[in-house]
Each structure stands twice: as C-alpha cells, then as structure tokens.
A and B are shown apart, each in its own frame.
Chain A
Amino acid sequence: MTPSRLNQGLILLCVFAVIGACLYGSTTLEASRVLRALVGGGDPADVIVVWQIRLPRAFAALIVGFTLGICGAALQGLLRNPLAEPGVLGVSASAALGATTAIYYNLVLVSPWILPLASIVGALGSTALLALAATRNAPVITLLLIGVGLSAFAGALMSLLLNLAPTPFSLADMINWSLGSVANRSFSDLILASPFLAVGIALLMLGRSGLVLLSLGEESALAAGLNVRGLRILIVAGTGLAVGAAVSLAGAIGFVGLIAPHLVRPLVGYDPGRTLLSSGLLAGLLLVLADMGIRALHTTVELNLGVVAALGGAPVFVWIILRRGRSLA
C-alpha cells in the first residue's frame, strides 16, 4: 500500500465514520431522515438534531483527533522517540489549565477568543520547556519525567483554581477539562478554534522534510543542511497553537497522538514526514469511533472521550516502553 493510497483510504473511512455518527444518537432517526436532513431538507426538527447536535460533535471529534494525531507524530519526529505525545508530555494538561483559568476568572467574558488563546499559552509554555530540555541533550526519559511533572503541576493548579476561582467551579467541570469531551460542541466553537488549528497544522506540515532529516540525529542533520533551530521553533510553535486550540475545543484527550503514529508508521515505511498526515487521519477516525462508542454505551453519566482514549492508549504506551526496554535512555 502506498502512503497516498493509505491516506485516501483513511479519508474515506473518516467520511463514513462522520456519516455514521450522524445516523446514530439518543433520538432514533431513520437513516433516510438523517440523510435528508444532512442535505438540508426534511423535518426542521431533524435538521436541528443533525446540524446542531450530531454533526458538530462528530466534526469536533474528527478535528481534535486529526490535530492530536499530527502533533503526536511531529513531537515524536522532533524528539526522535515514539513515546512523545501532547498528553504524555503534559502539553495537553497545561493547555487545559490555561483554558480553565480563562473561564473561571471570567476572562472569556472579555472576548470569546480568550479561551483558545489562554489554552494556547499553556500549550506553548510547556512545549517550549520540553524543546529547551531536548536541546540540552536531555535523554528521553528526562523529557517524559518533565511531562509527568508538568501534568501533575497543571493538575495541582487546577485543584487550586477549584478552591479560589470566583466563578463556581465543580469537580465535574474539572473532569471534563482533564479527561476531554466533545459533547454539546457547536459549529461556532469549531470556528473559534479553527484559525489556530489551521496555522498550527500548517507550521507542522512545513516541518515535515526537516523531520525526515532529523532521523539522523541533530548533529548530522545540521551538517547535512538542516536549520535545526528553525525546525525546533516551527514544531514548538505549531504544536503549541494546534494542541492549545484542540484542548480549548475538547479538553485534554490523551494517547490518541501516541497510538495513531505508532500504527501508521510501518505503513508509510517509517518516514517521519509522511507519518504526520496519515496519523492525523487515523487519530481523527479513532476519536469519531470512540465518541460513537461512548454514545452507544448509554451509561447514566456519559463517559468522557479522554477516558476511552486512555483505556485504549495507556496499555499501548506501556507496551511500547516494554518493547523498547534499554534503548529508552
């Protein structure tokens, strides 16, 4: 299978998954009614269900997954390690902290743009810290520990917010931010996040060829003509923007950015550049399917999307560590 064939297949599956997500929901609608509503016809109530509830939710899952998949692949390329991922490295948690701060200190009342911006500041801060540590030749284990530290610190600050924030802040809110969800998202939420997502992803895509050369290690890559510092800035800025915007949309959803590149890599011949787009598509597909799974479960309190992602992703994370063993350090 060639990489472009792979991408075409994944795009097709994503389209099917989104349509599937529209067909399925708490109110039972026959497929014919949903499809008629999708093209704007039929019962106005159906149109509302499809266009304001199901479709934005499916798109949010798709876009957030796409973003996290690309960011995971880009961070793995930059740090040259398959364990890197926005969630594992604490980038998502820092972004969620930024978002909650903006909400519970009523900063979002100033302008709705504050929400994605605050979450981007959180993501950029932690990504820059990680990249700085990576420049000093910190071994990967150090980076992962920094990520653990960042996640714990962001969690602690969130608990602090819970006590201090002027706006009432419930445990349920905190869980929604730290475990992620795409329930009740609207197209206007998507539009608010989209410019940051677009710029962030564009920056990451520009870094693709550099990531290929970086396979050789930083010194060889520099000598072979790569502006290593420029690439680092590109990936840090791109990840900060994209993860920040994704988290402002759906909270911190971990591990999809880890699994998707891992699954896709052998299919693109281990080319770190080609991994980006394919793992974005796969991660988007996985989140749409996971979100459908959540809705199918009919639990009394709806499960968070991040819970499902972690249930699938955390074991894969441990498995990669066990398999790599000594080469981790």
Chain B
Amino acid sequence: MPELIVDQLTCSLGGTTVVSGASCTLKAGMLTVLLGPNGAGKTSFVRASMGLIGKDNGSAKINDVDTSTLKPRERARLISYLPQQRSLAWPLTVRDVVTLGRFAHSAGPFFKLRDDEDPKDVAAVDNAIDACDLRALEQRRTDCLSGGELSRVHCARALAAQTPILIADEPTAALDPRHAFQIMDIIADYVRRGGAALIIMHDLALAARYATHLLWMRDGKLRAQGPVESSFTEQLCADVYGVQAQIDGASVVIKGSL
C-alpha cells in the first residue's frame, strides 16, 4: 500500500514560516490524529504534504514521488482530501455529490453526473453511500440536509474515491457528539479495511478514543508524535494546548486552562 512520507517539511504563507521541519509517515492501518491549537499550522502542514501548496524545504513523497509534482488527477487517486471549507455552490442531490468523488477515476472531460457511469464508479458510490448510512437520503437535495447529514455526505464523497490515503481537516467540527462519533466510526472503518487516515481535530477525548497515532503541533513544529498509548499525556496537553488535563487510559477530563 502507498505510504505518505513527509520529511523535514517547511512551508510559509505570505512570507511567514507556518510549518518548520515537520516529519511524519502515514501507513495503512494507521489512524493518525493531528492535534494543535488554532493557528498552529495544521492545515498548512496537510496542504503542503499533499502538494496543494508549495513548500520551502523538505519533501513529501508517495511511492518515492514528491506530491507537489503530481498532476491533480494522479494525486486525487492516491489521496482524498476533505478540507475544512466544505462549500456546495449548487443544491445537487446527495448521490451527485458522492459521485463527484469519482472524478479522478472517470473519463475526465467527459465526466457526467447521472448517466453513462462506469459500473465500477456506481459500485464505489453505492459502497460509500452505505458506509455513511445515506441510502435513505440518496435523492435528497443537499440544501435540505442537517449539518450532521451534510458532513456524512462529504465523508462519503471522500470515501467514494477509494484512495489508499484519506486526509480530513476537522471533519467533526460543529457536530454534536453522536454525529461526531458517526463520522469517526466511518473513518475508523476505512482504516480497518486498510486505509491510512490523517485527521485534524481539537476534541482530545475523541482523538484518544479513535486514534492509533497522534501528532502534536504547536507554532508550526511537531512537538511530539507516536502511538496513542505513549503520546497521549497530561504534559503534552499542557504544552500544546495550554490546558490542565487529567488522563486515565483513553478517557480525558479537561480541568481548565493553564
């Protein structure tokens, strides 16, 4: 399975260095959660790792090819990305949006919604719809969905691409606990079936519950990383988030800010 290997990655936005010397590896079967306060450089780090924005230094490779040299279509067959900004310009149906995930696999300029679909595309879309429990909403317009339903739709769009790597930027933001758990169950299931996932989130409890590995980022640097068993500590919660936390196994109680 392809792995994403990021080595000493440094990148800047408008002249300010936002990520410096960050390294990590995403492998099949790993659900890595990237933690860090707002403005830590998490989003820039994943964007630069995917090659969506330029980097100043370091490398990010899949199968020994730097991601910044990949054509959009090639990249989209290796990594599916769920950005924080999940806008939909037009009220397409749920199935349409999920089908958009197949763009990189399809006939390119002749990609069309709703007809002449390759049976492989249809099967991938059906699987993603089932995995995200959207069967009942398949033909619903996306402007008639709740926030929780809509985030499942975006998740299904990402899954339909059937890529070995999934990167999601705060997929559980603004979701109530039940819907947040649903999304994480979907991602955990993807990882169990051999995917590699990198998820940005702020919810420490949810991270501890689902992650196999953690990355802790602050001020553009990865402060610590490793399997969740060894890298989920009260000390890191204090250093990275500035909160006083009480950790007992996978359960965490935040006592207050430091």
On B, residues with C-beta under 8 Å from A are: 50, 52, 71-73, 75-77, 79-83, 85-93, 96-97, 100-101, 103-104, 108-114, 141, 157, 161
Contact = CB atoms under 8 A, between A and B. Distances in A.
A224 B89 contact: no
Contacts of B91: 270
A210 B111 CA distance: 8
Interface stretch (A15-23, A35-43, A184-192, A214-222): A214-222
Question: Interface of chain A, helix or strand or loop or mixed?
Answer: helix
Which of A217, A224, A226 has the most chain B CB within a 10 Å cutoff? A224
B89 A269 contact: no
Given A219-B52, A224-B101, A206 B109 contact: yes
| Interface size class, chain A | 20 to 34
> Which 10 A/B pairs are nearest by Cβ-Cβ distance?
A225-B104, A225-B76, A80-B89, A223-B81, A209-B111, A270-B90, A217-B87, A225-B73, A215-B89, A219-B83
Contacts of B101: 224
A225 B72 contact: yes
Contacts of A270: 90-92, 141
Interface of A: 80-81, 206, 208-210, 212-217, 219-220, 222-228, 265, 269-274
A225 B108 CA distance: 9
A69 B88 CA distance: 23
A223 B92 contact: no
A269 B114 contact: yes
A222 B72 contact: yes
A141 to B, nearest CB: 16
10 contacts: A80-B87, A209-B110, A210-B109, A212-B113, A215-B88, A217-B88, A220-B83, A224-B161, A225-B103, A271-B92
Contacts of B77: 225
A208 B113 CA distance: 11
Contacts of B90: 80, 215, 265, 270-272
A10 B161 CA distance: 36
A276 to B, nearest CB: 12
Given A209-B111, A274-B113, 14 more contacts: A212-B113, A214-B89, A216-B86, A217-B87, A220-B81, A224-B81, A224-B157, A225-B72, A225-B73, A225-B76, A226-B103, A271-B113, A272-B89, A272-B90
A236 to B, nearest CB: 17
Contacts of A272: 89-90
A209 B112 contact: yes
A227 B113 CA distance: 18
A213 B98 CA distance: 11
B223 to A, nearest CB: 27
A223 B89 contact: no
Contacts of B72: 222-223, 225-228
A215 B97 CA distance: 9
B42 to A, nearest CB: 15
Contact of A213 (B75, B79, B103, B141): B103
A272 B92 CA distance: 9
A248 to B, nearest CB: 28
A94 B93 CA distance: 38
